[in-house]
Amino acid sequence: MQTYYSDDTTLFLNGEYVPAREAVTDLFGQTLHYGYGVFEGIRAYHTVHGTKIFQAQAHFDRLAESCRLMNIPLTYSSEELTQASYQVLKRNRLSNAYLRPLVFCSPNMSLTAPREVSVMITAWDWGKYFGNSSLRVCLSSYQRPNPKSIRVEAKTCGNYVNSILATSEAKALGYDEALMLDMKGHVAEGPGANFFLEKDGQLITPQTGHILPGITRRVVLEIANELDIPVEERPVSPQELEGADAAFFCGTAAEITPIESIDGKPFAKPWKKSVSRIIQEAYQALVLDKNYSYVIV
């Protein structure tokens, strides 16, 4: 089991930096009981220019947007939370790290919108989420939730019940990860990452509406645009998976993770020869604050 903190860990809690072992929460909060809270997953990298939090502003802006969509009051600005995050990294002497901001609700057992919340930011040392290998993925029996039931664009704690069920099912069946469809039967996303398909040198990704609009997904679209790699954002049918050349998951933690096969059917193109691999290299350069114009398409 991974350890997320030790006796020396300091975290940010409501404007103060406190030892993780002394930080406590009330047992009567809506987040614990009902999953009503929002969070972020952010990466910091040891770059040539020192420790850099990748897309910090975008992540904290999304945290604020998640709060707005969920009627959760948040009093900190993205700038303040970015500064606090750098402090957490510094105080814990972390550079390659995963940051976890969480906005959780104060005691309230009723089903009314929270009036008071707490904000915590913690960080831990972080290597690669999936390791270096490519993933054997299965189509999940779990669908992504109906956008009329929850706020799909918000990174809400309770939404991850769906993700945990899907990943657990995939692993129990001997796969590495799940790929979920949406309520219309179109390909949606992974439990914690967005999905891209490659066909004839072009990338295809499900459009927004039934997925978390990932920050990495947006960065991938920007890289593709810059490198003149065509991308389509549109509904993807599960039948299209079979004829594809390659596929990958992308996310803050997943970065760009190649998918080897779906339901045991491998993709035609070796990853090394795929356009997706070029995106992967460019993304790695970008998070490390390096120029990726050297990547030849």
Active-site residue set: 155
Chain-centre distance for alpha carbon 247: 17
Among the listed ranges 107-115, 186-194, 197-205, 281-289, the one in contact with ligand PMP (CB under 6 A) is 186-194
User: Which residue in 138, 278, 141 sits closest to 198, CA to CA?
Assistant: 278
Strands 246-251 and 194-199: antiparallel
Among positions 222-251, residues that touch ligand PMP (CB under 6 A) are: 251
- Can you tell me whether residue 72 is helix, strand or coil? coil
Question: At what angle are helices 78-91 and 56-69 packed, to 10 degrees?
Answer: 120
Residue 23 or 236: the one with the smaller Cβ distance to ligand PMP is 236
Site for ligand PMP in 203-222 (CB under 6 A): 212, 214-217
Number of residues that bind ligand PMP (CB under 6 A): 13
Residue pair 119/57 in contact (Cβ under 8 Å)? The answer is no
Residue at shortest CB range from ligand PMP: 214
Q: Using the rule CB under 6 A, give the single segment among 74-82, 185-193, 234-242, 286-294 that binds ligand PMP.
A: 185-193
Residue span binding ligand PMP (CB under 6 A) among the ranges 31-39, 91-99, 189-197, 225-233: 189-197
d(CA 196, CA 211): 13
Residues numbered 7 to 46 that lie near ligand PMP (CB under 6 A) are 41
Q: Which among 125, 61, 71, 67 is positioned nearest to 93, based on CA atoms? A: 125
Residues that bind ligand PMP (CB under 6 A): 41, 163, 189, 192-194, 212, 214-217, 251-252
